[in-house]
Structure 1
Amino acid sequence: MTKTPTFRPATLADAAALAVLVDIAGEGGPNRLWLDMAGPGQSALEVGRERARREEGGFSYRHATVAEIGEEIVACLIGYRLDDPYDLSDVDELPAMFQPLVRLEAQAPGTWYVNVLATFPEHRGQGLGLELLEIANGRAHESGASAASIIVGSWNERASRLYRRAGYEQIASERAVLPPDLPQSGDWILMTRPLTSGATA
């Protein structure tokens, strides 16, 4: 019998699970980035865990909601409201792989941005993604945003279907710049969902 999932704000103790889920959402890209940042004898996931433990920054446990079944973390949502106006003055100084993502974010200023939505493989197909997207809508309303936004790779058809089912529509795209050893290729697609005043989480 499948247990009912529960949802709660993430804590410092969840940092390791968040790092793994972020790498799943990024399809291995975060692991490669963290490996480049690692010090001598440090693993990529150690770097990811450290970043999840930060009090500030986009990838911080403070922006995360986790889904649990029993005492096991099975999925997560990381999101926050984007700046409005959105500052692109330093975009050319970022690593090439992040520049198209930041340019897309700049096309949705003031929206509540779903940075990460990820579920461990063995718990997919249980509706956790839709439930977390409804939580995102609630957070967006609390922040005063008029829309929610998300970016997905054109190669990730399963995720794209989920977001369309949740009411998101494509508004822009940028060619993805990915590490050469990754199998994916295509575009990053920015999707948004207008929020109505009567919607609830």
Structure 2
Amino acid sequence: MSTDTETRTRLLDAAETLFYAHGVQAVGMDRLRAESGVPLKRLYRVFPAKEALVAAYLERRDERWTTSLRTYVLARPDARERVLAVFDWLGEWFAEPGFRGCAFLNAYGELGTAVPAVTEVVRTHKARLRQFLGELAEGVGGGDDLADRLMVLVEGATVVAGVAASPTPAPAAQAREVAELLLTRPGGPGRAPGGATPGALG
């Protein structure tokens, strides 16, 4: 690796560890310098502003997170099992010792829309997740209705697990049960009873 490439990797590794564990605003550049071992002058050469480092950290995490989810889910041979595998994967993630919820929602919760580059990464990540859920929904004969509901289940379970006192897969298991009900509803996956459109029941 070139010097700048190696430096970038070291900084992103440090940023991922510190930002995810402690929050974006609580971690200053001096702490990142100490954790990474990268001199401050070189740090600013690679990332001229902290906002650029936050965005890069989230972009890399998006790639890793999405790839891991897709690989796990698409290994299942059955379309219905692929939908449910999303929640199995979430359960394993939620049970990890360092789990602190969704890094993207955490960053957005701290920064709001004050940093457009970060906001864009967060929204892109959520759009990629929604697109993947749409592919899975289509595989079981569902449409946008099912994909939207799966998105709510995934996000809701992640938030609940993220604020739990200790890592637990329980919210993922509970969301999986609801997903199973959605897949077996009369009128098709994700449809309201009797084939009514969402919202028609008040």
The answer to whether TM tops 0.5 is: no
**Higher strand proportion, which one?**
1
TM-score (norm 2): 0.31
Identify the structure with the greater helix proportion: 2
Larger of the two Rg values belongs to structure: 2
TM-score normalised to structure 1 length: 0.31
